[in-house]
């Protein structure tokens, strides 16, 4: 049982299948070789995910209610096909701070799910955690320092990159994650999970947290 005044750092995300995680790790490794001298905090492959909503610090005592709200938000939402598409940077390629891998597919369905999740979690989230606009992406790394030459190399390589062949999957699961910060980086723990409405004949497994195959 958590202490009465404990808070947990939480976010809601869609996990990646193992084969997609492996493909994203290969893309990341290629970028690492291009800018091996740069100061970049690369996302560990086991932490690749698609963030729907970062909540920040939430009172642990309120997590059961949050889980109920998220379960209700996900109920009836359909699973959706997505695929990897395009590399980019936040805030932009002239001053890159985050390297991301973009997605395409049924983005309208994804945006509707994200809005449902964000609405359900609104009262639990810290006020300054709401993004100006949802952008479907997988974070590959956070840039601390790049030389002008490294930035040029990275930006040109990102602009030229295309998945071959296109890699897609059915995004069918939403997870509530706890992130614990430590000296070696963040540790992620799944607190609860909900399957989206699958195509006919697909088995469901609500409430448990293993990564999908």
Q: Give the active site residue among 92, 137, 188, 206.
A: 137
Q: Is 49 a catalytic residue?
A: yes
Separation CA 47–CA 140 (nearest Å) = 10
**Ramachandran quadrant class, 105 (left: phi over 0; alpha: psi -120 to 50; beta: rest):** left
**Does residue 206 have an active-site annotation?**
no
- Enumerate the H helices of 3-56 as residue ranges: 18-34
Give rounded-to-5 percent helix, strand, coil for the chain.
30, 35, 30
Rg of the Cα trace of the chain?
18
Distance separating alpha carbons of residues 159 and 41, to the nearest angstrom: 21
**C-beta of residue 178 within 8 angstroms of C-beta of residue 191:** yes
The residue written with tokens 């492959």 in the block is 45
Distance CA 57, CA 55 (A): 7
Residue 191 is inside which H or E element, if any?
Answer: strand 185-195
Q: How far apart are CA 100 and CA 112, in angstroms?
A: 22
Catalytic residue among 46, 49, 188, 206: 49
**Positions marked active-site:** 49, 137
């Amino acid at each position: 049982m958590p202490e009465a005044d404990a808070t947990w750092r939480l976010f809601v995300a869609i996990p990646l299948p193992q084969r997609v995680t492996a493909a994203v790790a290969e893309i990341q490794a290629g970028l690492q070789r291009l800018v091996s001298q740069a100061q970049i905090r690369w996302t560990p492959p086991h932490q690749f995910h698609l963030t729907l909503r970062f909540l920040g610090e939430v009172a642990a005592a309120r997590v059961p209610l949050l889980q109920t709200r998220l379960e209700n938000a996900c109920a009836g939402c359909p699973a959706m096909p997505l695929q990897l598409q395009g590399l980019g940077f936040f805030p932009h390629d002239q001053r890159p701070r985050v390297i991301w891998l973009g997605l395409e597919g049924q983005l309208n369905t994804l945006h509707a799910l994200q809005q449902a999740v964000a609405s359900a979690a609104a009262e639990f989230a810290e006020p300054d955690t709401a993004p100006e606009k949802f952008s479907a992406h997988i974070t590959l790394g956070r840039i601390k320092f790049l030389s002008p030459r490294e930035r040029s190399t990275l930006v040109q390589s990102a602009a030229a990159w295309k998945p071959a062949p296109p890699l897609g999957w059915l995004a069918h699961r939403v997870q509530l994650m706890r992130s614990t910060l430590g000296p070696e980086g963040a540790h992620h723990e799944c607190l609860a999970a909900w399957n989206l409405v699958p195509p006919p004949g697909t088995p469901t497994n609500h409430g448990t947290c293993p990564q999908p195959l």
